[in-house]
Amino acid sequence: MLQPGDPVPDVAFRDRDGSSFSLASLRGKPFVLYFYPKDDTPGCTAEACAFRDAYQDFTDAGAEVIGVSSDGAATHERFASKHRLPFRLLTDERGAGQKAFGVSKTLGILPGRVTFVVDARGVVRHAFDSQFMATKHISEALHALKGLSNAV
């Protein structure tokens, strides 16, 4: 798994509208990239809604929030609409993003739940891996972002 100090790989994902989205397009701005198992499952919904509820805190810190799972664009669109998610959801159907970031499966079957905080230069500054503490990803990410702004 990528660790603090590692550069973010330039992985391309599909956006909810089916267009290609490259992480390189975020260069110059910090972002939070969180990998999660599946749309509309209890843990993933709690995590997404917690990111939604804290979204203003992330934007106030100057950061984008991006969720990634293997679900398709139509599923992401329904999930985002149902829960009023203000941030981007990306599709990693073939798992290339998970592989590039080193996100491993839990028990060898369940897609991993990992959050990365990335600085404006595209370097990982924090990584948090916890399948079962879904909403703790938000406080971990916010804490790491505050550390970035204090380091400036």
Identify the H or E element spanning 127.
strand 124-129
How many residues make up the chain in this entry?
152
- Interatomic CA distance for residues 97 and 118, integer angstroms: 15
With contact defined as beta carbons under 8 Å apart, do 124 and 5 qualify? yes
Of 23, 44, 85, 89, the catalytic one is 44
**β-pair type (114-118, 31-35):** antiparallel
**44 counts as catalytic:** yes
Residues catalogued as catalytic:
44
